[in-house]
Homo-oligomer: A and B are copies of this chain.
Amino acid sequence: MASIEEFEDHCWKDVVPAADLKLYSCYARKTYVGTRPALLAIDLYNIVYRGGAKSPYELDPIYPNSCGVYAHDAIEPTKRLLAAARAAGIPIFYCTQETRPNNRPAGAVSTRRQNAAMPHENDDYDIYREFTPQAADTVIRKQRASVFQGTPIVSHLNILDINSLIVCGESTSGCVRASCVDAYSNGLHVSLVEECTFDRAQLTHKVNLFDLHHKYVDVMHVGEVITHLERLAQPKNA
């Protein structure tokens, strides 16, 4: 849904050198939403919204997991994306941390963060109130960065006859990247929604979007994806 000429019209243009963009021109192509998509909302849980719409640099001493302003800026586009997905009737998947007792041995965690407690059963890893899952949605509990690692999502997608994903969430350089690479490598077309994807730091956010877009997925703008979903939502022979 975006032409080959628009392939680099994304947020990384101010950090990736022109010579590198030229080197990566071999990846340029039209982007699109795949057939029979599901929406996958990655790690939209409470702790990344803590402290409000401030810079993560400022929030870090008190809320070391918060994506602050980047998380809050993504709330409105993500609400619109979810609403369009629900209107189109496509399956909706969320993922979050597994927090149940006895769920893993020490050390089986998403990253090597040193001051992190094991996820536990407070509301840190509940889905943020603006995006509460509904009865028909599926919530995948994971222990690692990728939603495909040690979870049943591949079988769920097959059962629901899904063969592509629309992805949003965080963090771009962590769980989003790992999940997108795995989705692509499992044979799924992935559309990653730029305005609904975020991280704590901008350089790594942008370079990871750049890598993902060229090598594995179609980074798309939220308007394009919503337009596509609205078309799906229309009665077939209205």
> A158 interface residue, CB < 8 Å from B?
yes
Query: Which residues of the partner chain B approach A57 to less than 8 Å between Cβ atoms?
Result: 19, 22-23
> Assuming A154-B154, A211-B173, is B113 touching A27 (CB within 8 A)?
yes
Q: Report how far A112 CA is from B181 CA in the complex, Å.
A: 11
B residues near A100, Cβ cutoff 8 Å: 100, 141
Complex copy number for this chain: 4
Chain B hits for A150, CB < 8 A: 150-155, 185
Contacts of A185 in B (CB 8 A): 144-146, 149-150, 155, 178
Q: Is A50 an interface residue (CB 8 A)?
A: no
Instruction: Give the residues in chain B near A105, CB-CB below 8 Å.
Output: 91, 138, 156, 159-160
The yes or no answer to A17 lying at the interface (CB within 8 A) is yes
Per the 8 Å Cβ criterion, residues 158-196 of A in contact with B are: 158-161, 163, 173-174, 177-178, 181-182, 184-188
Quick one: CB contact mask for A36-66 with B, threshold 8 Å, 1 for yes? 0000000000000000000011001000100
Q: Is A87 an interface residue (CB 8 A)?
A: no
Least CB distance from A228 to B in Å reads 19
Interface residues of A (CB under 8 A from B): 15-17, 19-20, 22-24, 26-29, 35, 56-57, 60, 64, 91, 100, 102-108, 111-116, 133, 135, 137-139, 141, 143-146, 149-161, 163, 173-174, 177-178, 181-182, 184-188, 200-201, 203-204, 207-208, 210-211, 214-216
The docked-state distance in angstroms from the alpha carbon of A101 to that of B91 is 16
Partner of A154, one of B102, B159, B187: B187
**A19 contacts across to B, CB distance below 8 A:** 57
Among B27, B115, B157, B173, point to the contact of A215 (Cβ < 8 A). Answer: B173
| Between-chain CB contacts (< 8 Å), 6 pairs | A17-B203, A27-B112, A104-B156, A112-B214, A181-B181, A207-B207
Give the docked Cα–Cα distance between A185 and B179 (Å): 12
Tell me the minimal C-beta distance from A72 to chain B in angstroms: 17
**Bound-complex Cα distance A166 to B137 (A):** 31
Q: Is the CB of B108 within 8 A of A156?
A: yes
